[in-house]
Structure 1
Amino acid sequence: MGIVSGLVLFAVIWSMTFLIALPIRVQTQGDAGEVVPGTHAGAPEQHHLGRKALWSTLVAAIIWAICATIILSGWVSVADIEGWLHPNAAPTHGTGG
């Protein structure tokens, strides 16, 4: 895995963890009891984006380290994944074709 592919993998993992973290602990205007005229009661009052970005970064770094270790160590190869996806297919590596 090269530097660019490692950064792309981290960006994808970070985006997924951030999107998962967004709805956690959101205090809506309806919960706070102060609905701004012209807005929906479900609009966020406190969203804690900074904390969520920090936690997403920490969790994504841990998940990325696990994924990078598996990829770089060779515990799971592309051939293994292809074997899981297509168990009845004949192996093509080493046959000259």
Structure 2
Amino acid sequence: MAYSISTALAIYFVLWWVTLFLTLPFGVRSQHEDGEGAPGTDPGAPIKSQIGRKLIWTTLISAVIFGIGMLAHRAGYLNIERMSKLMGFPF
């Protein structure tokens, strides 16, 4: 069974969001770590979040993971029969 375009986009969308949440903490320095906090702000607030760079990295990483998943699916490693057998469910 081949993926439809909408299924592939939905899988990529979910994978992209999971990857975004994984990449968000990298490279963030808090006001407390740098010692330069504005009065009345939370010491854990980030100084520079660099969100643009993280969005680009998220897109690249999720595209690579999605590509590997699609190749594994086409090679027959990610089909429903194989996954149900690995999890111990009868198909």
TM bracket (short chain): 0.7 to 0.9
> What runs of 5+ residues in structure 2 fail to find an aligned partner?
none
Q: TM-score, normalised by structure 2?
A: 0.87
Q: Percent identity, aligned pairs only?
A: 30
- Superposed CA deviations along residues 48-80 of structure 1, whole A, max 9, x for unmatched, are 111011001001000000111122332332011
Cα RMSD of the aligned pairs, angstroms, is 1.5
1:42 equivalent in structure 2: 44
Aligned to 1:13: 15
Larger Rg: 1
Letter aligned with residue 25 of structure 1: G
**Aligned partners of 2:59, 2:34: CA distance in 1, in Å?**
28
Aligned to 1:23: 25
Aligned 8 A contact 1:6 1:68 in 2: no
Moved over 2 A (4+): 72-76
Equivalent-residue separation in structure 2 for 1:8 and 1:41 (angstroms) = 37
SS of residue in 2 equivalent to 1:46: coil
Identify, as 1 or 2, the structure richer in strand.
1
Shift in Å at residue 16 of structure 1?
1.0
